[in-house]
Amino acid sequence: MRTLTDLDKKLLAKLAPELEGETGPAPGHDYKFILLPVSHKLSESPEDFANRVNRLTDEELIYLVELILKGEEDVRSLAEGDSDALFELIGKRLPEKARELIK
């Protein structure tokens, strides 16, 4: 099971400030991914999800893409429309990384 790093927790706090200080949905249960709790528990729409992801710096977004490419971040299980919103945002901000995701 993947354990979130300090950087992962920083990104999660940036995407979901309302979770700050929490480590998971219940005591003793840590999140394994950054995007899933934001997608399923907090964002109200794909637009809200994209707005949250857009808070990340380019460096942070590149880090997130690298996690996706390594299979360490789950994008297949995001709420309906959120993965499309994510890939559209990546395509606009980081076209070279978007091409890597398409491969």
pLDDT for 26 = 41
pLDDT for 1 = 62
Write out the residue range of the structural domain in which residue 92 sits: 6-102
Name the burial class of residue 30, with classes exposed (0-12), middle (13-18) and buried (19+) by CB atoms within 10 angstroms of its CB.
middle
The reply to whether 16 falls in a domain is: yes
Tokens read off for 13: 């706090």
Contact (CB, 8 A) for 63 and 11 = yes
Closest by Cα among 42, 36, 34, 37 to 11: 34
Our count of domains for the chain comes to 1
pLDDT for 20 = 67
- Distance (Å, whole) CA 54 – CA 32: 21
Render each residue's pLDDT in the chain as its tens digit; 103 residues.
688 899 998 999 999 998 765 444 443 346 889 999 999 999 999 999 999 999 999 999 999 999 999 999 999 999 999 999 999 999 999 999 999 998 7
